[in-house]
Amino acid sequence: MSRPERARLLQFVATDRGDEVSALLVRPSDARWLLVLGHGAGAGMRHEFMEEMARLLGAHSVATLRYQFPYMEAGRRAPDTAKRLVETVRAAVDCANRVAEGLPVLVGGKSMGGRMASTAASQGELSDARGLVFFGFPLHPAGRPSLDRATHLQDVRRPMLFVQGTRDRLAELELIRAVCEGLGRRATLHVVQDGDHSFKVLKRTGRTVQEVREELAATVARWVERTVQDNAGKDADT
């Protein structure tokens, strides 16, 4: 495992109306991939989950570029429109390609950040992405099971990794299983036993938050090497 470098603060224009946002690049010396990582709806790129995942992924030779959505950069609570969120994902990938030239790109995020990445990919905005990573895909609102938010995933032509907790109230496990089955070989589902939407597990499991996060990082690293590398340069099979 490598030791990641200190995060490098960047700025880029995120939307066609000129919103400028911040980003943090963590690139270990032996980086082989770059994951462009969007935050969840209620917490920005400096949230401790984002910070720790960047560190742990770096230890597995996966560089990360975390970025802010415009509303979070401006200190607002309500997320931007889907159009502006998708524009920001595209701009973040462009930024990543500029500052980490030569590294193959993955795109994803925590909760909303992941869903906006998949939305952008479904619209053909992320043709240069090799795969997508979802840390807790928000399939439906809490207590309102539905598959509506998964419809666009059929138009994503790259490998996708879904990391989901069994107690995630925003994605009932049987529903997310059904989504992944419907996507065929494009989808890989990794289940965190007793994990909630934030991947916190019950005390009775005897597992620590740190152990779970190390599992997440190792899962991403294995998936990249086994699945994405095999699909490099071609569309994933349906």
**What is the SS3 assignment for 188?**
strand
Sheet with 129-135: list strands edge to edge.
8-13, 20-26, 62-67, 33-38, 105-110, 129-135, 160-165, 187-192
pLDDT of 106-138, one tens digit each?
A: 999 999 999 999 999 999 999 999 999 999 999
pLDDT at 235 over 60: no
Kindly indicate the confidence band of residue 228, based on its pLDDT and cuts at 50, 70 and 90: confident
Distance, in Å, from the CA atom of 157 to the CA atom of 145, rounded to the nearest integer, reads 25
pTM score, whole prediction: 0.94
Distance, in Å, from the CA atom of 81 to the CA atom of 39, rounded to the nearest integer, reads 15
Of 82, 102, 105, the C-alpha closest to 36 is 105
Say which amino acid occupies 53. Answer: M
Backbone angles phi, psi at 228, to 5 degrees: -70, -45
Helix, strand, coil in percent for the chain, rounding step 5: 40, 20, 40
pLDDT of 156-175, one tens digit each?
A: 999 999 999 999 999 999 99
Distance, in Å, from the CA atom of 90 to the CA atom of 112, rounded to the nearest integer, reads 15
**Sign (positive or negative) of CA dihedral 113, 114, 117, 119:** negative
**Sign (positive or negative) of CA dihedral 125, 37, 160, 198:** negative
